[in-house]
Structure 1
């Protein structure tokens, strides 16, 4: 029987709304869901179960959300009766086991990477390389197939999961143990939240360790015409930042150093002071209708990004020279520096396009993008990177999951994913003036369509528009989609857990 007292407790913690947007981390004007009826903020798993049971019995769609790490309005369906279960208050961490440098820990739905990483650090353990942005929950990262950048380590967060407890469409708590030969596990490890609410994750941990970060500047031709695999594979994690207006790359690399090594480096990719935020906003807005300011701004950001975006954790002084070193959770996750705020709080918002391509086709894709840049310039409307850190290019070792980005499953096009995937992530600034269009707005749509039509790319599940998902259907593995849909039918026969993404790819 539904526990009414438990449900009321969940209701009272967040309050009720009616037919309003539920926003992404960017806030007002950036909806993850266009219309939702209710937003609950439970504090226990029992309360989450009660909310799902109640909504399911009334035919209301349910979506789980940690910190709204979405970029577009694809998280829910367009049903205005949708219920959001906000998980951030359900964030307990327990059951740490660590023997001979390896072990596991159990984390609840709303625990973020910094929360877990700091808790583990105090106990001599670490999440290893399954680390992503500081504002994402671990359960949310598992659901969306999130990754870091590595060809040597399994860096998809799901790869470290040992077990799940998922609240299914009937409000039942289903326990799953790792089994890479089982379709249910292959669906759960990138579920897009369509099997239910991930209530708990048992995840692998290792003994705490330190890493170094180093960076060098490369000419564009060294990457486009080079052996990308050879450039990045020696490192446990690495990524490129592309500055197309300057025809330069930053290659940032990471590796393990002895834990006794000197260094307390702490990274913040996203935080700025109020002065910095306002200056950046003025610079970026100046390029809405003119091309030249965008190239000037890119040059400024390139210079800023050439120095380490790290501080010393103890003194908060900026670190001025590469390499830097520190504990992995500080270097790879980071957070906010004191007296700074996330950039989006100062109006620095972005759109993005992120696509995965087989590493074997990485050079060809980057060269095609360069051709599109050159074509825009020849037409008198040159485009370049208009965001804080250029175009981010990441990598992933193959990991088998029905909807994973780095899986070796192939679609209609023959493609070799065995060496891993390159993730092409192109964020761009959204002007706060006028119609909010970017300079040469049509070019961005042309870029997306060209890459999707000419390469076997797969879409990132939270960083693309509805149109991108529709276009990308041609590149998704139909057998994987059918098998995923079959597992989903078992978990949620009444289709309680819906999303635009699920509807587009045909698994709802």
Structure 2
């Protein structure tokens, strides 16, 4: 009888399927891992521990995955024996404490931002500004050092963490309380999943609140030659969208309004109708082998982006003028609109490059990118932004973590990160026809190499190619990497948790 119970328990968290690629949000043809042996879907923390213990005993590589947002094949190692632990079914929320407007809550490995946002909203609480994309898990965002955009508030997701429970390489549950003087804590807050599976997070919460979103249009020269820190820092969160063809920027800013303020604004950048998806696909594919269609498409998207990409949450009617008002999560992140789907379900997929640079060098980097755009035009192969919302430029207040993007830690290439980081995020449409190359494909590789060689940039951990990670290694702090590697060795001496990124960094 006991054997039957054990077998049934094992089957309850086994997702059957043949070995092969493991895909995240982009689906088939866009693997996060090129070849894995099996995908498990446990429903409890103890089941995750059992899987890890078994894998550790067998020497099998393991990677945890929530609703991952991996753009390239860097999530796992290339060992085909790798197994995936899918955490989305381990999603309990508990232990809310809220007093005088501040408090904490405990979330399990697979809890997503919309899940906890709705749960907290029903109880008069909010996550504040440590929010990321609507479809990924909180634990995954913290592991990867994910962030929103702010020079005033700590917006790195892991900055809200008060404690972690991590399942280490032996399958043991290790509790870590916040201690910013501890190498263990500085490793856990951007662990890249290399310490183990983040089983639980205790995180800060605030009393529920509302915010406004406003947007203005700036000429390109106003940003490239302006005081970027002064333009951004007054707002609790803000970011630019750069449209290189029209030579314009959209500056979107956010701030707190009274909870009694009317408005139920709700957004999602990725949400499109079937008609919109088909039209966009046709426009974007038209620019694969010619430059002019890309500039025409960018002009259309630029015009559309001038009006709010917000609906009223209660009526689903579009909001047509700025500013808009609503609850913090709904305005800052939102979710899918009813009867719409994510853009990637209509083959609107992209490649991307995201690099962090000190705010003190933001103007110089953007001017260098403009020079590269201009040089491409002089060479007869002009390129521009070919995606839904231009080039996204975000910001980050310094937050100390060995592998964080906004940390003040410096290595061989010294720089002043004390004012924070600017994240240069350049997504570009990936054609669905022909050889799938973008127009002037070589230019994108040259852009990455130029910025990495000329600026002390740091890479985003889920939005860059293997080549970008290799090239960026010279810009990372050797002391931070060595100290992280020592902590990782304590958590996972058998190297059960592996990834291409960890191997390139030399910490696995």
Report the TM-score when normalising by structure 2: 0.99
Deviation at 1:411, TM superposition (A): 1.7
State the distance in 2 between where 1:271 and 1:405 align.
28
Task: Tell me if 1:265 matches 2:303.
Answer: no
* Structure 1 residues 167-209: Cα deviation after superposition (integer angstroms, max 9, x where no partner): 0000000000000000000000000000000000000000000
For residue 233 of structure 1, what is the aligned residue in structure 2? 233
For residue 134 of structure 1, what is the aligned residue in structure 2? 134
Deviation at 1:4, TM superposition (A): 9.3
Q: 2:398 touches 2:421 (CA, 8 Å); kept in 1?
A: yes
For residue 359 of structure 1, what is the aligned residue in structure 2? 359
State the distance in 1 between where 2:64 and 2:87 align.
7
User: Structure 2: 5+ residue runs without aligned partners?
Assistant: none
Aligned partner of residue 17 in structure 1, secondary structure: coil
For residue 436 of structure 1, what is the aligned residue in structure 2? 436
State the distance in 2 between where 1:376 and 1:11 align.
56
Deviation at 1:24, TM superposition (A): 2.1
For residue 449 of structure 2, what is the aligned residue in structure 1? 449
For residue 401 of structure 2, what is the aligned residue in structure 1? 401
Deviation at 1:379, TM superposition (A): 0.2
Q: 1:7 touches 1:51 (CA, 8 Å); kept in 2?
A: no
Runs (4 or more) in structure 1 with deviation over 2 Å come to 2-19
Deviation at 1:51, TM superposition (A): 0.6
Aligned partner of residue 262 in structure 1, secondary structure: coil
Deviation at 1:350, TM superposition (A): 0.7
For residue 504 of structure 2, what is the aligned residue in structure 1? 504
Aligned partner of residue 356 in structure 2, secondary structure: strand
Change (3 A) 1:350 1:386: same
For residue 335 of structure 2, what is the aligned residue in structure 1? 335
Task: Tell me if 1:296 matches 2:296.
Answer: yes
Task: Tell me if 1:55 matches 2:33.
Answer: no
Aligned partner of residue 19 in structure 2, secondary structure: strand
* Structure 1 residues 281-314: Cα deviation after superposition (integer angstroms, max 9, x where no partner): 0000000000000000000000111100000011
State the distance in 2 between where 1:296 and 1:107 align.
45
Deviation at 1:268, TM superposition (A): 1.1
- Which range is displaced more, 3-12 or 278-287? 3-12
State the distance in 2 between where 1:144 and 1:38 align.
23
Q: 1:117 touches 1:127 (CA, 8 Å); kept in 2?
A: yes
Q: 1:91 touches 1:111 (CA, 8 Å); kept in 2?
A: yes
Q: 1:430 touches 1:438 (CA, 8 Å); kept in 2?
A: yes
Aligned partner of residue 427 in structure 2, secondary structure: strand
Deviation at 1:13, TM superposition (A): 4.0
Aligned partner of residue 63 in structure 2, secondary structure: strand
Q: 2:68 touches 2:140 (CA, 8 Å); kept in 1?
A: no
State the distance in 2 between where 1:336 and 1:18 align.
31
CA RMSD, aligned part only? 1.2
Report the TM-score when normalising by structure 1: 0.99
For residue 206 of structure 1, what is the aligned residue in structure 2? 206
State the distance in 2 between where 1:475 and 1:268 align.
34
For residue 146 of structure 1, what is the aligned residue in structure 2? 146
Task: Tell me if 1:155 matches 2:155.
Answer: yes
Aligned partner of residue 424 in structure 2, secondary structure: strand
Aligned partner of residue 446 in structure 2, secondary structure: helix
State the distance in 2 between where 1:81 and 1:162 align.
35
Task: Tell me if 1:414 matches 2:414.
Answer: yes
Change (3 A) 1:97 1:123: same
Matches within 5 A, 1:167-246: 167-246=167-246
State the distance in 1 between where 2:340 and 2:183 align.
45
Deviation at 1:18, TM superposition (A): 3.9
Q: 1:358 touches 1:419 (CA, 8 Å); kept in 2?
A: yes
For residue 321 of structure 1, what is the aligned residue in structure 2? 321
Aligned partner of residue 416 in structure 1, secondary structure: coil
User: Structure 1: 5+ residue runs without aligned partners?
Assistant: none
Q: 2:360 touches 2:417 (CA, 8 Å); kept in 1?
A: yes
State the distance in 1 between where 2:8 and 2:396 align.
43
State the distance in 2 between where 1:324 and 1:362 align.
29
Change (3 A) 1:170 1:5: farther
State the distance in 1 between where 2:375 and 2:7 align.
58
* Structure 1 residues 124-158: Cα deviation after superposition (integer angstroms, max 9, x where no partner): 00000001110110000000000000000011011
Task: Tell me if 1:93 matches 2:93.
Answer: yes
